[in-house]
Structure 1
Amino acid sequence: MRSTLPARDGTAQEHAEVELIGRSGEAALLDDFLAGSATGGAALLVSGEAGVGKTALLDLAAARAAVRGFRVLRAAGVEFESDMSYTGLRRVLAALLAGLDRLSPPQEQALGVALGLTEGQPPSQLAVANAALSLLRDSAADKPLLVIVDDLPWIDAVSATVLAFVARRLAGSRVGFLAAFRLGEGGCFEGAGLGELELKRLDDDAAACLVTTRFPALSLRARQVVLDQAEGNPLALLELSRVLSQPEGAVVPPGPAVLPLSQRLEGMFAARVGQLPDNTRKVLLLAALEGTGDIGLLEAASAAEGGVSSLPHAERAELVHVDTSRSRLEFRHALVRSAVVQMASPDQQRSAHAALAEQLHDQPYRRAVHLAEATDDKDEYVAGLLERAAVEMQRRGDPVGAVSALCRAAQLSPHGGDESRRLAQAAYLRADVTGDLRGVPDLLNDARRADAASTQSLASAVALSSHRLHIDGDIESAHRTVIAAIDALPDRDAPDQTLIEALYYLVAISSFGARDELWRPVHAAIDRLGPRAPEFLALLATTYADPVRLALPMLGRLDTAVARLTSDTDPGHIVRVAIAAGHVDRLPACRAALSRVVEHGRTGGAITAAIQALLLLSNDAFTAGEWDRASQLCGEGLELCESHGYRLLSWPIMHQRAMIAAARGDNDEARAVADHLDTWATPRRVGLVTAYASGIRALAALGRGQADEAFQHANAVSPAGTLASHLPYAMWAILDLVDAATLAGRHREAAAHAAAAERARLREISPRLALIAIGSSAIAAPDDRKRDLFEEALAVPGADRHPFEFARITLYHGEYLRRSKAVEEAREPLAAARRIFQRLRAEPWERRAAREIRAAGRSTGTQPAGRAALTEQQREIAHLAATGLTNKQIAERLFLSPRTVGTHLYQIFPKLGVTSRAELRDALAKLPSDARDN
């Protein structure tokens, strides 16, 4: 099969002919891939060993795509540039950047900053990825687009992350993404759920055909030597045949046949490079280290050696191709580039880097990297350039690259104080931004050895405290370290980013400690910032720190911040606002943004933020009654915690999963987790985690019917009659304490705790807290007030969106009615509660409801929906609610109070056998006609 290839810029210009012998199946798959790309978007990854023909297959795809009317974009990874952030993405998108202004302003800004085209705040990788995806989709609106990326492992990490994100979201576009990498080196692309094609070696017939076709004059003996040694690898077949076709090639060049094939091929290329004139080799070395193949730059860098006039020698040796239309040099294979570099001495490589740096004064980022490679001794000038390059990397959203640049800058620093400062900054970025805690102690130790006196910086303090907090749970030491570093700061007109991050860490430290004395200096430090404090810090210091006492005045500001998450692409900021929203039940409005953070983490983005987002989403799923989903999210979060060393973040996730186990009656798991949490947290005085352990035990004991034990554990979270300061978790235990105290005959304690919830005005914070506060008051109230309070609790708008609490209070209502001899009336709420418990698989609670139903004199078998007739007014309210009207809107139409409407709906639900408004329409449709119309 013969294919004419397009030029590498995707035009129809012919510059080479190759035969893809033995690849008919792969070619057919390419045709299917291109057809799918043109109509609905597609991605395909090509993998295989070195020399197996990946690039040739990409060439064929480019040729066929051009014939089909595609616009083709090509790029390849370059080993030396693999640490230079977003260079790969810029090469991929270079031909489309003129259309950047067609994007929305935020996306244009994010992509422009990342690619170094504009100034601005550092964009998150998620923002850059979304912008790149939009640019590709828009560019393919009139003409299908094929993106081809070769040598994928050498694409810089942030570009690879962005491209992996894009490749997974091409459905519905007219964009195809085709990339190639050596087997086992796909990085974030492997396991990404994309289409894959593994190129195998040619079979014996195809291998023989390739050699015979390309080298017909080769002797039979030499041909057999080639076939035996190449073992079906196309590049080896061609290179060995080329060697044996030369006049001096009577035998295969000496060398151990046991070497890996890639090394043997590289050795063959090295032999051909070694035969080139010195000037040619020097130009090839410049090209190998420069990466883009810019002929103009290579000409300038090699002017002293005669420029690029000697390149035809390398072309005749079939080592490179010079594309005169684009003024670009391309290596025939990545192994050629590798051979050129390996053959150069360290001094030659440093000289080449210096020559390149001299031509890059207009690109300080690249110049700094080349100068660093050209420098062998300490050099503050180069170290300073690298430090500024690190700032640029941060600005462009690449903290991992910034860490590498700072570490290299530290190596080049002549003075210990500068070395220490740069290492401390690298440690801070690694701990705080990249989510990689493992190297932090080594960086801090190196900083201390360089200059012990300079390691008291705020960056060093944050890095150290982050490590202590997440790895060791050392609350006290971490808190002292950061407070001392903040107190030592001079007053500034505006807080810098390191101070903001330090204050955020103090919030995290203090929340786990859950003690007033830890929070007092945090509040003082944030108060000193006044209006200069970022909004998320002000929210965390109130709605998250102590919602019982501080949330109400801040809810309007919080709702505004949550609404803005719709367009937010910064994973760290999204998570921080969502944390502030969590205890006051605003997480449903954060779901989409948090899901973006999780997806970003799955594709190589911010791990810390992804773990926190998984926890928040699992909390939301738990309160929404989606317990299986909550468990799945917990599992993913725990895997990330374990693989990245985030022990502290694992405790809230373990608590969440154990609460589901306790509610479902898995007492062994609940007990094991509670003991594990307690054993770790108690000696460290991590108050939040010890509260978690008590909460798990309280819920499990209630399920077992052990009221006294349940009361003791719930009381350990927050004593009866009080809601502990700076422990938001105390709100989670209100219902457990009141229920347990009542069952244990501790009516005074139950009433005191219910009164504390009312004093805290929890009903004004959210529907769920209103349900809990009013329901708790109903449980603890005198009998003459219980009915009204239960009905008020269950009529709270949106209360049914929290099925576990809703079912529990429905159960308590039914229990009260049965004990009050209103047996007939008790059966409906008891049955409704039981149905919800069955759906949740909350077996201990389902058994409790079943016992009550039997005590009320009714079988616990399931009864058909619509078994009880609705009154005329109830039918009308049910129909209006089914259309989506709120209680207030229904009340206005029927001249009733919203509370009366809520009471009727509370009675309607069990009659129809439903638990939410969403089920009303179907339930009404299933009623017999006489039940609907009478």
Structure 2
Amino acid sequence: MRTLSGHLDAVDVRGCAVGLLGEPGVGKSALQAEVVGHARTRGFTVLAARGSQSETHLPFASLHQVLRPLLPRAERLPAMQRDALLACFAMGDSAEVNPFFAFLAVLELLVDLARRTPVLVCLDDLHWMDRPSIDALAFVARRIDSERVVVLCTSRTGPLPFADPGTVEWMELGGIDEAAAAALLEARAPRLAPAVRDRVLRQAGGNPLALIEFATTLESGEHAWTELDDDLPMTTRLERAFAARAEHLGPAVRAVLTVAAVDDGDDVNDVLAAARILHGAPVDRVAAQPAFEHGLLTVAGDRYRITHPLVGSALRQAMPPATRQQAHEALARVLAAQPDRAVWHRAAAVSGRDERIAAELEQAAGNAQRRGAIASAAAWLERAAALSPDPQAQAARLLSAAELGYQLGRFDQVEQIKAQVAGVTLRPRDRSRLIWLEGVFHDGSTGEPAEVRHLVDEARHATAGGDVELAMQLLVGAARRVWWRDPGERLRHAIVEAAREADVLAGDPRLLAIHALSESHEQGPAVIEQLARWPADAGGRPDLAGLLGIAAFCTGDFPRAVTFLSTPVHELRAQGRMSLLAEALAIRAWAEIYLGTFDAASSADEAMRLADETGQSLWAATARIAVALIDGVGRGWDTHHVLLAEAEHTALRTPNAASSLLAGVQLARGIAELGANRPEPAYRELLRVFEPADQAFQRVQQVWTLGYLADAAVHTGRHAEARSALAAMERIAGSSPATGSTIALEYARAVLADHGSAETLFQLAVDGASRRLPWHRARAELAYGSWLRRRRRVVESREPLRAARAAFEAVGARAWAQRADQELRATGERGWQPTPHPRDRLSPQETQIAELAAQGLSNREIGQRLFLSHRTVSSHLYRIFPKLGVGSRGQLAAALSHQVQSSDASRD
């Protein structure tokens, strides 16, 4: 209570989300109720919801409980958010819902309420809440740091309901101590015999609910000694104690309890009406009163609840299957005006397969999907499949559920369903859907050569059957796997040949992506030639722009990659499609890095946060490496950067992704070591990317890493080894005109050249592909100036060294600016002092908000764009202004404008 009260006391400073974990009966709900009392005395508005096992299938049921008092205020929300939220509760006309706009609406309602009074959101039995509600509430919990909102959850010990362990600060509750247990037992059951009292204390193990229930039922004579068997789990013993309360009640009351145990709502009138059908005679509140008196149900107005989840599970365990089915059938009749709920109960009322009900469930799943409840829709489809008499119809519904699982990133669910339908003779279209699922799921899927070969064979089969669309989908999936883990030259070429057999246009974005992912160097010149023919926005098609961006990135055409990827980033943000947005941002972040734009606020930081939130471990790791590398260039760090360690852990536990991710990890470490002027460890780190037997070997990324390896080699006397690597990279890159390859090769040739040709090659490195890219030009100038100084051409060396120092400072590369300054000092020049800019004081998210505000966007527009509340945006700006030394939004643009950007296209 001291801890939780402390969170309430600090709500004006920061919001938080905290949770209580523990076994049933340990006191989570009682403690939460105590906190509610304290909160109300301190002026909090309390919003509450309680999960129920019988409601887990009902989309947004728990969220509706929380928001019921606030729904009249929904009309004040921006139209897109309002419509999305109301459609979640089937209260609007929207044909389809984007769940993230609905989640943002929830956040805005809570934040607006918190302007008047602090808010406590109580989520009891979170583990029984429906998945869409959990997702919405997790979205809110991650965004209340600067709001006057406290979220307090309770959940049973076990797998955490929120996928991200950082969403909630969890505290585990144990039982009360022996003295407190004895005092409680004495207060509640003073007449127990000493032997019985000792056994209850021993069996309850400090669990308060067990102490009360065991004592009460033993004292009343309704509980047998065998119910306290040591071998029985605590939950079973408690369920039997609760079941004993109901055994002696009359038929009408038991009918009420039976219906309540399987009901997925909270309207007492629905329960009484269904109980009347089940009982065969009128049942009113008076008849049901014993259920309330015995502490099995509680009621407030027309709303009722089962007093404890174990009461519901005890009642369900005790009822015969036929009785349970009759209760569901009665509820289905009562809920005829709510067809989705009614069909779920009709499905629970049948004992065999039933196509009519399966079809109704499939329709209800469609309704749930349109409301943005993808997880619920998938569950409904799986239930529909279980009721399908026809094996082919069953497989079709399972595949629909698997497709929704793919949207949610649930690889395990997809694999499980694929195994279920593997032995079924599928309809032609469903066979195509299964093959597509095998090819499309690249995050977490196997990269084994045999699996890639299978996809290629299936693609050729689809082409032979005239299904070119399916063939290209499969080949894109196969090619994506090549990027994460190279299956070998023959298989890479087989993918390219299969794509050619599909006979699509040479400029088809799918074909370009397949070629670039599979044979980046071999197909690079042809791909780049085709990319040049596409407009920057891909003709208004963000899906095609995304494929073109991938093709440009993989061939090293980084300026076009940034341009093409900015189109889908803009569209996906506007559509609230956070999962795909995270992927697009992560790829764009690396294109920016390879161009020398080290700005985490542009893409990398947001990609990391969104990938974490949407559960995409590989893209989260990709973004983490980018953020760590940007930190290494800007601030410098040792090789133990926490984000880098997390990304490496992801790579090592996901073998199919190891080469690509680990190559990025090694590049980040190598650049950090070079910035700190530690060339020996830098060389060791970077060399791993070039050694085929190493897990970090990546045939494409090694070319882009070459310049940094050459830099380290020159300072450690390894010219011969580096020249050998240069020759190998020249053979691999061939005649590629790609920016990435050209920059790396021009730089490496210059720093590794002999005395006679070095100066000409340095001039080419400075004025060639790097000419308009400050970071790369500065590195070439630093290397050239250092070379001149070592040749005792001291006066000539100062100009390129000064230019390098100024450029490094402008792009925020402090360690590298200091390296250039050390070279200048060696020429006898003194007096330079770094000039830190106020912008450096901003976090990446603060920088992003400041830039959007400088563009003239309102707080609400910024919030919707970044999936934050407008109040959070306002709070950030309140802190940003003094950091930048400005007093108004109109001054932001000038304050932010000093930093040199390598590409105008690096903003979406």
> 1:315 aligns to what?
292
Alignment partner of 2:581 out of 574, 584, 587 = 574
Alignment partner of 1:87 out of 61, 64, 75 = 61
> 1:108-139: per-residue Cα shift (whole Å, max 9, x none)?
23323434433547655544433321111112
> 1:12-49: per-residue Cα shift (whole Å, max 9, x none)?
xxxxxxxxxxxxxx2x5454443334675343322333
Alignment partner of 2:700 out of 668, 677, 691 = 691
Alignment of 1:140-219 (within 5 A): 140-188=114-162, 191-192=165-166, 194-218=168-192
> 1:90-115: per-residue Cα shift (whole Å, max 9, x none)?
22222212211222223223323434
Counterpart Cα distance in 1 of 2:723 and 2:6: 66
TM-aligned CA deviation for residue 266 of structure 1? 1.4
Give the direction of change, closer, same or farther, for the CA distance of 1:533–1:506 in structure 2 (3 Å limit). farther
TM-aligned CA deviation for residue 267 of structure 1? 1.3
Alignment partner of 1:331 out of 297, 300, 306 = 306
Is the contact between residue 38 and residue 176 of structure 1 (CA under 8 Å) also seen in structure 2?
no
Deviates more, 1:737-746 or 1:407-416: 737-746
Alignment of 1:35-74 (within 5 A): 35-37=9-11, 40-74=14-48
Give the direction of change, closer, same or farther, for the CA distance of 1:489–1:382 in structure 2 (3 Å limit). farther
Give the direction of change, closer, same or farther, for the CA distance of 1:292–1:549 in structure 2 (3 Å limit). closer
Q: Secondary structure at the match of 1:472?
A: coil
Gaps of 5+ in 2: 485-491, 513-533, 674-679, 835-849, 851-893, 900-908
Alignment partner of 1:105 out of 38, 54, 79 = 79
Give the direction of change, closer, same or farther, for the CA distance of 1:651–1:251 in structure 2 (3 Å limit). closer
Is the contact between residue 621 and residue 627 of structure 1 (CA under 8 Å) also seen in structure 2?
yes
Identity %: 26
Counterpart Cα distance in 2 of 1:509 and 1:121: 36
Q: Which has the higher contact order (CA 8 A, sep 6+)?
A: 2
Alignment partner of 1:659 out of 667, 679, 685 = 667
Amino acid at match of 1:108: R
Alignment partner of 1:386 out of 347, 361, 377 = 361
Give the direction of change, closer, same or farther, for the CA distance of 1:447–1:649 in structure 2 (3 Å limit). same
Deviates more, 1:414-423 or 1:70-79: 414-423
TM-aligned CA deviation for residue 473 of structure 1? 4.9
> 1:209-266: per-residue Cα shift (whole Å, max 9, x none)?
33333345555665455444434322222223322432x4798565413433332221
Alignment of 1:483-522 (within 5 A): 485=462, 505=477, 508=480, 521=504
Q: Secondary structure at the match of 1:43?
A: strand
> 1:826 aligns to what?
797
Alignment partner of 1:358 out of 308, 320, 333 = 333
> 2:746 aligns to what?
738
> 1:872 aligns to what?
none
Give the direction of change, closer, same or farther, for the CA distance of 1:611–1:388 in structure 2 (3 Å limit). farther
Counterpart Cα distance in 2 of 1:793 and 1:473: 38
> 2:240 aligns to what?
267
- The reply to whether residue 376 of structure 1 matches residue 351 of structure 2 is yes
> 1:724-767: per-residue Cα shift (whole Å, max 9, x none)?
38xxxx5333233223334555999x99xxxxxxxxxxxxxxxx
Deviates more, 1:355-364 or 1:575-584: 575-584
Q: Secondary structure at the match of 1:376?
A: coil
Give the direction of change, closer, same or farther, for the CA distance of 1:330–1:820 in structure 2 (3 Å limit). same
Counterpart Cα distance in 1 of 2:631 and 2:619: 18
Give the direction of change, closer, same or farther, for the CA distance of 1:372–1:918 in structure 2 (3 Å limit). same
TM normalised by structure 1 equals 0.71
Counterpart Cα distance in 2 of 1:86 and 1:522: 45
> 1:755 aligns to what?
none
> 1:536 aligns to what?
542
Is the contact between residue 615 and residue 652 of structure 1 (CA under 8 Å) also seen in structure 2?
no
Counterpart Cα distance in 1 of 2:249 and 2:81: 48
Aligned length: 782
Q: Secondary structure at the match of 1:444?
A: helix
Counterpart Cα distance in 2 of 1:561 and 1:711: 40
TM-aligned CA deviation for residue 484 of structure 1? 5.7
Is the contact between residue 29 and residue 124 of structure 2 (CA under 8 Å) also seen in structure 1?
yes
Give the direction of change, closer, same or farther, for the CA distance of 1:510–1:197 in structure 2 (3 Å limit). closer
Is the contact between residue 399 and residue 429 of structure 1 (CA under 8 Å) also seen in structure 2?
yes
Is the contact between residue 20 and residue 154 of structure 2 (CA under 8 Å) also seen in structure 1?
yes
Counterpart Cα distance in 2 of 1:744 and 1:680: 24
Q: Secondary structure at the match of 1:202?
A: coil
Counterpart Cα distance in 1 of 2:4 and 2:821: 61
> 1:896 aligns to what?
none
> 2:531 aligns to what?
none
Counterpart Cα distance in 1 of 2:368 and 2:260: 24
Is the contact between residue 784 and residue 800 of structure 2 (CA under 8 Å) also seen in structure 1?
yes
Give the direction of change, closer, same or farther, for the CA distance of 1:630–1:112 in structure 2 (3 Å limit). farther
TM-aligned CA deviation for residue 467 of structure 1? 5.1
Give the direction of change, closer, same or farther, for the CA distance of 1:238–1:721 in structure 2 (3 Å limit). closer
TM-aligned CA deviation for residue 154 of structure 1? 0.8
Alignment of 1:841-880 (within 5 A): 864-865=831-832
TM-aligned CA deviation for residue 333 of structure 1? 1.4
Is the contact between residue 710 and residue 737 of structure 1 (CA under 8 Å) also seen in structure 2?
no
Amino acid at match of 1:692: Q
- The reply to whether residue 292 of structure 1 matches residue 265 of structure 2 is yes
Give the direction of change, closer, same or farther, for the CA distance of 1:34–1:709 in structure 2 (3 Å limit). closer
Is the contact between residue 266 and residue 304 of structure 2 (CA under 8 Å) also seen in structure 1?
yes
Give the direction of change, closer, same or farther, for the CA distance of 1:111–1:502 in structure 2 (3 Å limit). farther
Deviates more, 1:136-145 or 1:330-339: 136-145
Alignment partner of 2:551 out of 545, 548, 555 = 545
Q: Secondary structure at the match of 1:72?
A: strand
Amino acid at match of 2:709: A
Greater Rg over alpha carbons, structure: 1
Give the direction of change, closer, same or farther, for the CA distance of 1:102–1:190 in structure 2 (3 Å limit). same
Is the contact between residue 675 and residue 693 of structure 1 (CA under 8 Å) also seen in structure 2?
no
TM-aligned CA deviation for residue 814 of structure 1? 0.6
Q: Secondary structure at the match of 1:865?
A: coil
Give the direction of change, closer, same or farther, for the CA distance of 1:578–1:723 in structure 2 (3 Å limit). farther
